């Protein structure tokens, strides 16, 4: 397979980021370098990583060869690119709902408390109203919290009546509501709707994938949440972008291998350490809480605290040994 990713180019782009590094003391130089790299994360994510075309090629090859362990490894590493903390904060956590579905698809359920923690139930403000509607229902389901579902379900049902909502949005949210209500017949129809809406709607998409990872994530979520008898009643979608053989394999392998698919050369091993580590734990704050100029409604806003999000992740990576060599 001919790849567009060239290690020499990755080295060059990495060096361009680090050329701007100035060590000012106060902490170990290795940790300061790691902080500099992650604070310049937009360059890091888009440049010092394999090309999207290569990820798609690896995915298609794994699907063609029915190499399901390899597919999980590709999905897991590719997804971590989208889960890097953003120094800019704000509403960037809205991508986490879709990231979490891709994590479910490859068996990485352990990161739910990092991407969609209970604290997100405080968030009512957003750029896109789909995020709180879907995230709050998922949080209520995952943490088995009826108090959250008591208000999250009606809020989601209100969102479903929006004329501007897309087929994909409605199908994903409706599936979560089906899980909450225990309607497996409707859940099967809505999972098919997710597959049908996936190629038509790029809104909220983390990146175009060669198959419907979102439907697979929802299917895997159902297996974790539902009693066995109820899950057996959930019909798989019969659609070209859903992989029934992969879904059956995942049912038998709830915790597949998620080791790195693409390993950086030894001189860029720092990046291997970052991708092998858990994703950053989301940090929220109310930036307008004490602002005398903010309107009363704005003082209630919760947003990702980009600086703390990155800095706390650097501390965690350093404790894990990333960047020490």
Residue 42 pLDDT exceeds 70: no
Q: What is d(CA 191, CA 67) in angstroms, rounded to the nearest whole number?
A: 24
Q: What is d(CA 177, CA 156) in angstroms, rounded to the nearest whole number?
A: 8
Residue 12 pLDDT exceeds 80: yes
153 in any annotated domain: yes
| pLDDT value of residue 1 | 58
52 in any annotated domain: yes
More confident residue, 168 or 202: 168
Q: Report the number of distinct structural domains present in the chain.
A: 1
Task: Identify the weakest region by mean pLDDT among 1-5, 60-64, 303-307.
Answer: 1-5
The segment with the largest mean pLDDT, out of 13-17, 85-89, 209-213, 218-222, is 218-222
1 in any annotated domain: no
Task: Identify the weakest region by mean pLDDT among 72-86, 89-103, 162-176, 294-308.
Answer: 294-308
- End-to-end CA, the chain: 33
Q: What is d(CA 56, CA 73) in angstroms, rounded to the nearest whole number?
A: 13
277 in any annotated domain: yes
User: Could you tell me the residue range of the domain that residue 75 belongs to?
Assistant: 7-319
Burial class (CB in 10 A: 0-12, 13-18, 19+), 272: middle
59 in any annotated domain: yes
325 in any annotated domain: no
Task: Identify the weakest region by mean pLDDT among 10-14, 66-70, 167-171.
Answer: 10-14
Task: Identify the weakest region by mean pLDDT among 148-152, 155-159, 235-239, 298-302.
Answer: 298-302
Tally helices (H) and strands (E) across the chain.
16, 2
The pLDDT of 259-273, averaged and rounded, is 93
Residue 291 pLDDT exceeds 50: yes
Question: pTM for this structure?
Answer: 0.93
List the structure tokens of 23: 């060590």
Distance of CA 215 to CAs 88, 149, 151, 228, 241, Å?
Answer: 30, 22, 25, 19, 9
Q: What is d(CA 207, CA 204) in angstroms, rounded to the nearest whole number?
A: 9
Report yes or no: 21 and 33 within 8 Å, Cβ to Cβ. Answer: yes
The region that residue 168 occupies, defined by phi over 0 for left and psi between -120 and 50 for alpha, beta otherwise, is alpha
């Amino acid at each position: 397979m001919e790849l567009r990713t060239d290690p020499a180019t990755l080295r060059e782009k990495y060096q361009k980021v680090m050329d701007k590094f100035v060590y000012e003391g106060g902490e170990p130089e290795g940790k300061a370098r790691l902080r500099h790299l992650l604070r310049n994360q937009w360059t890091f994510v888009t440049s010092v990583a394999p090309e999207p075309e290569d990820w798609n090629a690896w995915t298609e090859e794994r699907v063609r060869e029915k190499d399901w362990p390899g597919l999980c490894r590709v999905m897991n590493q590719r997804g971590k690119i989208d889960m890097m903390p953003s120094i800019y904060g704000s509403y960037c956590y809205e991508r986490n709902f879709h990231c979490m579905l891709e994590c479910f698809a490859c068996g990485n359920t352990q990161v739910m408390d990092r991407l969609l923690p209970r604290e997100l139930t405080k968030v009512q403000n957003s750029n896109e109203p789909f995020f709180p509607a879907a995230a709050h229902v998922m949080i209520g389901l995952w943490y088995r919290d009826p108090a959250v579902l008591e208000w999250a379900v009606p809020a989601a049902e209100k969102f479903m009546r929006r004329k501007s909502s897309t087929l994909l949005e409605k199908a994903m949210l409706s599936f979560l509501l089906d899980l909450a209500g225990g309607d497996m017949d409707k859940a099967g129809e809505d999972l098919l709707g997710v597959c049908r809406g996936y190629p038509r709607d790029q809104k909220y998409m983390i990146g175009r994938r060669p198959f419907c990872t979102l439907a697979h994530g929802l299917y895997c979520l159902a297996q974790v949440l539902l009693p066995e008898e109820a899950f057996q009643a959930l019909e798989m979608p019969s659609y070209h972008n859903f992989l029934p053989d992969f879904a059956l394999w995942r049912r038998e392998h709830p915790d597949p291998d998620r080791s790195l698919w693409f390993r950086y050369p030894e001189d860029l091993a720092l990046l291997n350490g970052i991708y092998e580590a858990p994703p950053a734990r989301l940090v929220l704050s109310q930036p307008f809480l004490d602002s005398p100029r903010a309107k009363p409604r704005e003082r209630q806003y919760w947003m990702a605290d980009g600086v703390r999000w990155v800095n706390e992740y650097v501390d965690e990576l350093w404790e894990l040994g990333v960047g020490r060599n």
